[in-house]
């Protein structure tokens, strides 16, 4: 029922294809040896053409660059250095696109490559530029194929995984559905691969209405060498899209009929959908696209003012700062129990904040003199979760 409702409202869909979905793993190779499977890429070109023929705009987020490059270079070691991985990404990305291009050409569809980095997405102007480019491509029936710009981004500033990237892209292009094609059926109530679960069968969760701590725990962390994400990053990605009002489906992309099943309203995979989204536009970007550079721990009084009265955050309510950050950066706002209550853009760098934390406005005036920001985070730049 919910799925039918969602399908009725779709105009645009983002499909994320994981490395394991387009790998030639089925040919008996270990995860470190396998490369790109042209057959699977062709398969998805055919299936995506069918989705496009239904009148939907399709944006693809595809992994597989590092995997493809690794195979081409014959590097099957687990411990590749960062430059080696980046070299693999550079070689693999062009091969990946070449393979997609050839497969889609057979279906008379043009494709375009877009490589994004955190720097692009964290800058509001560049973020909007990317949006306009994608719009222009979709207007012409071109399928944008997006990946992270792996060969130039270093580990600390990476988006890191394409689940997160696909959620950001879904919000960027205002999609009505994000489909994450993975190599598992969806989210289970316990890890189906763990030995200690033998006897107690893991059950697939068909619908998650809220991503709470229990769901995050259930998702666990990945131990798959081929993919970066695992279920945890998928759940966090779904949390992002849900708060924007976009449903997310995590399904098994190795099931050849999965896209048909989704679009005929069958109950496949796990649907993450709360019914409606709360935050949009710039505030969503602050909360879910920007990488927090640090944290502010606030006292109970400040928490109440922020959460219940919709106020700005003042220096007086800050107990502690964590991390080093500059003016204008995104930071987490944490309560005394360690729970994150929101995120916002700071009007002070961490060094100055250390000086004025806990102080009332007149005292700051006396200390600094001249003009200064009364708010550490103005309510217009603050998102409460």
Distance CA 162, CA 16 (A): 8
3-state secondary structure the chain: CHHHHHHHCCCEEEEEECHHHHECHHHCCCCCCCCECHHHHHHHHHHHHHHHHCCCEEEEEECCHHHHHHHHHCCCCCCCCHHHHHHHHHHHHHHHHHHHHHHHHCCCCCEEEEEECHHHHHCHHHHHHHHHHHHHHHHCCCEEEEEECCCCCCHHHCCCCHHHHHHHHHHHCCCCEEEEEECCCCCECCCCCCHHHCCCCCCECCEECCCCHHHHHHHCCCCCCCCCCHHHHHHHHHHHHHHHCCCEEEEECCCCCHHHHHHCCCCCCEEECCCCCCCCHHHHHHHHHCCCCEEEEECHHHHHHHHCCCCCECHHHEEEEECCCCCCCEEEEECCCCCEEEEEECCCCHHHHHHHCCCCHHHHHHHHCCCCCCCCECHHHEEEC
Nearer to ligand GLU, 85 or 357 (CB): 85
Nearer to ligand GLU, 161 or 375 (CB): 161
Q: How far is the CB of 212 from ligand GLU (least distance, A)?
A: 24
Q: How far is the CB of 206 from ligand GLU (least distance, A)?
A: 24
Nearer to ligand GLU, 66 or 271 (CB): 66
Nearer to ligand GLU, 67 or 290 (CB): 67
Nearer to ligand GLU, 91 or 383 (CB): 91
Q: How far is the CB of 35 from ligand GLU (least distance, A)?
A: 12
Nearer to ligand GLU, 148 or 352 (CB): 148
Q: How far is the CB of 167 from ligand GLU (least distance, A)?
A: 12
Q: How far is the CB of 59 from ligand GLU (least distance, A)?
A: 16
What are the residues binding ligand GLU (CB under 6 A)? 19, 63-67, 89, 147-148, 150, 161-162, 227-229
Q: How far is the CB of 263 from ligand GLU (least distance, A)?
A: 24
Nearer to ligand GLU, 20 or 321 (CB): 20
Query: How many Cβ atoms are within 10 Å of 385's Cβ, its own excluded?
Result: 14
Nearer to ligand GLU, 45 or 316 (CB): 45
Q: How far is the CB of 205 from ligand GLU (least distance, A)?
A: 22
Q: Which of 10, 116, 95 is nearest to 57 (CA)?
A: 10
Sign for the pseudo-dihedral over CA of 68, 74, 79, 81: negative
Q: How far is the CB of 250 from ligand GLU (least distance, A)?
A: 14
Q: Which of 294, 203, 196, 280 is nearest to 240 (CA)?
A: 280
Two tokens at 274? Answer: 């709360």
Distance CA 326, CA 151 (A): 27
Q: Please, which residues bridge with residue 270 across strands?
A: 250
Nearer to ligand GLU, 197 or 222 (CB): 222
Nearer to ligand GLU, 160 or 317 (CB): 160
Q: How far is the CB of 184 from ligand GLU (least distance, A)?
A: 14
Q: How far is the CB of 83 from ligand GLU (least distance, A)?
A: 15
């Amino acid at each position: 029922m919910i799925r039918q409702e969602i399908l009725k409202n779709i105009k645009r869909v983002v499909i994320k294809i994981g490395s394991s979905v387009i790998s030639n793993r089925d040919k008996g190779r270990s995860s470190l040896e396998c490369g790109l499977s042209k057959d699977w890429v062709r398969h998805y070109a055919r299936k995506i053409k069918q989705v496009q023929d239904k009148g939907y705009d399709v944006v693809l987020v595809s992994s597989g660059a590092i995997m493809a490059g690794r195979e081409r270079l014959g590097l099957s070691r687990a411990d590749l250095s960062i430059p080696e991985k980046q070299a693999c990404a550079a070689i693999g990305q062009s091969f990946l696109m070449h393979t997609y291009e050839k497969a889609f050409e057979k279906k008379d569809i043009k494709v375009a490559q877009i490589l994004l980095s955190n720097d692009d997405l964290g800058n509001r102007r560049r973020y909007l530029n990317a949006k306009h480019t994608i719009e222009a491509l979709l207007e012409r029936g071109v399928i944008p194929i997006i990946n992270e710009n792996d060969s130039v981004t270093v580990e600390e500033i990476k988006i890191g995984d394409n689940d997160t990237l696909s959620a950001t892209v879904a919000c960027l292009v205002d999609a009505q559905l994000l489909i994450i094609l993975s190599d598992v059926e969806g989210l289970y109530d316990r890890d189906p691969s763990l030995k200690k679960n033998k006897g107690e069968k893991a059950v697939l969760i068909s619908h998650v209405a809220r991503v709470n701590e229990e769901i995050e725990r259930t998702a666990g962390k990945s131990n798959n060498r081929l993919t970066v994400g695992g279920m945890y990053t998928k759940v966090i990605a779904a949390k992002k899209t849900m708060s924007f009002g976009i449903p997310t489906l995590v399904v098994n992309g190795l099931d050849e009929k999965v896209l048909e099943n989704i679009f005929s309203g069958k109950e496949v995979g796990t649907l993450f959908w709360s019914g409606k989204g709360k935050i949009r536009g710039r505030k969503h970007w602050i909360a879910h696209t920007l990488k927090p550079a640090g944290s502010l721990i606030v006292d109970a009084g400040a928490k109440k003012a922020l959460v219940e009265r919709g106020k700005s955050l003042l220096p007086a309510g800050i107990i502690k700062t964590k991390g080093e950050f500059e003016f204008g950066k995104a930071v987490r706002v944490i309560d005394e129990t360690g729970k994150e209550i929101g995120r916002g853009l700071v009007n002070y760098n961490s060094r100055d904040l250390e000086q004025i934390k806990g102080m009332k406005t007149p005292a700051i005036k006396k200390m600094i003199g001249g003009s200064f920001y009364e708010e550490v985070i103005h309510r217009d730049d603050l998102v409460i979760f």
